[in-house]
Structure 1
Amino acid sequence: MGRNTRKRRTPLAAKAAAASAALALGGGGLVWANFHASAHEAHDGAWGDRTTRAAGQVATISCPDVGQRLSDVPGRARPEVDGELATLDRQITDAYERLATTRDAQARDASFVQNSVLGPLKDRRQAVVDRIELEIGRAGGTVPAGLDALTACTGTPSGAGTTDAGSTDPGNTDNGGRAEGGSQDGGGDGQQGGDGGQGGQAGNGPAAADFVDITTVRPNVEPRPRRTRNASTGTFTTRCGVNAGHNHNTDNVIVAPGVTNGAHHLHDYVGNQKVNAFSSNDTFLQGGTSCRNSNDLSAYYWPVLRVQDGTRDFDQDADGGGKEGNAGRILVARQAEITYVGSPTGKVVAMPQFLRIITGDAKAFTNGPANANAHWSCTGFENKVQLTDKYPICPEGSDVVRSFAFQSCWDGRNTDSANHRTHVAFADGRGRCPAGFKAIPQLTMRLVYDVPRPEIEGGQVKNAYAVDGFPEQLHKPVTDHDDFIAVTKGDLARTIADCVNQGRRCR
Structure 2
Amino acid sequence: MGRNTRKRRSPLATKVVAGAAALAVGGGGLVWANFYASAHESGSSHHRTRSAGAQVATIQCPDVGQKLRNVPRGARSGVDKELARLDEQITEAYARLASTRQAQSGDSGYVQNAILGPLKSKRTAALDRIGTNIRRVGGNAPDGLGRFAECRGMGADQPGGGNGDNGDGDNGQDGGQDNGQGQDGGQNGGQGQDDNGNGVAGPVADDFIDINDVQPNSRGSQNGLAANGDGGSTGTFTTDCGVNENNLFNSDNLIAAPGVDNGAHHTHDYVGNQDNDAFSSDEDLANAETSCQNQGDKSTYYWPVLRLQDGTEEFDANDQGGGAEGNIGKILKPAQAELRFVGNQQGDVVAMPQFLRIITGDAKSFTNGDANANTAWSCSGFEDRQVTDKYPLCPEGSQVLRTVNFQSCWDGQNTDSANHRDHMAFVQQDGSCPDNFQAIPQLQIKLAYDIPAPTVENGQVQNPYAVDSFPEQLHKPITDHNDFINVMDENLMNEVVDCINRGEDCQ
Q: TM-score range by the shorter chain?
A: 0.7 to 0.9
Q: Structure 1 pair 228/81, CA: closer, same or farther in 2 (3 Å)? A: closer
2:31 corresponds in structure 1 to: none
Query: For structure 2, which runs of at least 5 residues remain unmatched after alignment?
Result: 1-9, 15-51, 167-187
1:424 counterpart letter in structure 2 = M
CA distance, structure 1, for counterparts of residue 363 and residue 391 of structure 2: 16
1:233 corresponds in structure 2 to: 234
Whether the 8 Å contact between 1:81 and 1:132 is mirrored in structure 2 is yes
Whether the 8 Å contact between 1:69 and 1:144 is mirrored in structure 2 is no
Deviation at 1:162, TM superposition (A): 2.2
1:186 corresponds in structure 2 to: none
1:244 corresponds in structure 2 to: 245
Q: Give 3-state SS (helix, strand or coil) of 1:121's partner.
A: helix
2:265 counterpart letter in structure 1 = H
**What do the CA deviations read for 1:325-382 (whole angstroms, capped 9, x no partner)?**
0001000110000000000111000111100000000000000011111210000111
1:302 corresponds in structure 2 to: 303
1:337 corresponds in structure 2 to: 338
Deviation at 1:138, TM superposition (A): 1.4
Deviation at 1:312, TM superposition (A): 1.6
2:59 corresponds in structure 1 to: 61
Whether the 8 Å contact between 1:2 and 1:83 is mirrored in structure 2 is no
CA distance, structure 2, for counterparts of residue 485 and residue 338 of structure 1: 13
**What do the CA deviations read for 1:404-452 (whole angstroms, capped 9, x no partner)?**
1000000000000010000000001111111000000000000000011
Question: What TM-score results when the alignment is normalised by the length of structure 1?
Answer: 0.82
Query: For structure 1, which runs of at least 5 residues remain unmatched after alignment?
Result: 6-53, 165-173, 175-190
1:354 corresponds in structure 2 to: 355
1:92 counterpart letter in structure 2 = I
Whether the 8 Å contact between 1:84 and 1:132 is mirrored in structure 2 is yes
2:456 counterpart letter in structure 1 = I
CA distance, structure 1, for counterparts of residue 490 and residue 429 of structure 2: 34
Q: Give 3-state SS (helix, strand or coil) of 1:491's partner.
A: helix
**What do the CA deviations read for 1:442-473 (whole angstroms, capped 9, x no partner)?**
00000000011101111110010000010000
2:371 counterpart letter in structure 1 = A
Is the counterpart of residue 195 in structure 1 residue 192 in structure 2? Answer: yes
Q: Structure 1 pair 146/163, CA: closer, same or farther in 2 (3 Å)? A: closer
Q: Structure 1 pair 448/141, CA: closer, same or farther in 2 (3 Å)? A: same
2:135 counterpart letter in structure 1 = G
2:209 corresponds in structure 1 to: 212
CA distance, structure 1, for counterparts of residue 232 and residue 197 of structure 2: 46
Note the 1:481-496 alignment, pairs <5 A.
Answer: 481-496=481-496
Whether the 8 Å contact between 1:59 and 1:198 is mirrored in structure 2 is no
Q: Structure 1 pair 135/218, CA: closer, same or farther in 2 (3 Å)? A: same
**What do the CA deviations read for 1:16-45 (whole angstroms, capped 9, x no partner)?**
xxxxxxxxxxxxxxxxxxxxxxxxxxxxxx
Moved beyond 3 Å, runs of 4+: 1-5, 191-194, 196-200, 221-230
Q: Structure 1 pair 2/147, CA: closer, same or farther in 2 (3 Å)? A: farther
CA distance, structure 2, for counterparts of residue 202 and residue 334 of structure 1: 28
1:120 corresponds in structure 2 to: 118
Deviation at 1:146, TM superposition (A): 2.4
Q: Structure 1 pair 228/364, CA: closer, same or farther in 2 (3 Å)? A: closer
Aligned residues: 432
Deviation at 1:200, TM superposition (A): 6.9
1:499 counterpart letter in structure 2 = C
CA distance, structure 2, for counterparts of residue 485 and residue 281 of structure 1: 10
2:483 counterpart letter in structure 1 = D
1:108 corresponds in structure 2 to: 106
1:327 corresponds in structure 2 to: 328
* Most deviating of 486-495 and 254-263: 486-495
1:183 corresponds in structure 2 to: none
Percent identity over the alignment? 57
Q: Structure 1 pair 444/163, CA: closer, same or farther in 2 (3 Å)? A: same
1:264 corresponds in structure 2 to: 265
2:205 counterpart letter in structure 1 = A
Q: Structure 1 pair 225/409, CA: closer, same or farther in 2 (3 Å)? A: closer
1:499 corresponds in structure 2 to: 499
Question: What TM-score results when the alignment is normalised by the length of structure 2?
Answer: 0.82
Q: Structure 1 pair 294/482, CA: closer, same or farther in 2 (3 Å)? A: same
**What do the CA deviations read for 1:280-308 (whole angstroms, capped 9, x no partner)?**
10000111100000000000000000001
CA distance, structure 2, for counterparts of residue 252 and residue 205 of structure 1: 23
Q: Structure 1 pair 315/226, CA: closer, same or farther in 2 (3 Å)? A: closer
Note the 1:84-483 alignment, pairs <5 A.
Answer: 84-158=82-156, 160-162=157-159, 195-197=192-194, 199=196, 201-219=198-216, 220=218, 222=220, 225=226, 231-382=232-383, 384-483=384-483
Whether the 8 Å contact between 1:194 and 1:208 is mirrored in structure 2 is no
Q: Give 3-state SS (helix, strand or coil) of 1:58's partner.
A: coil
Deviation at 1:199, TM superposition (A): 4.6
Whether the 8 Å contact between 2:57 and 2:189 is mirrored in structure 1 is no
CA distance, structure 2, for counterparts of residue 147 and residue 194 of structure 1: 35
1:451 counterpart letter in structure 2 = I
2:500 counterpart letter in structure 1 = V
Deviation at 1:147, TM superposition (A): 1.2
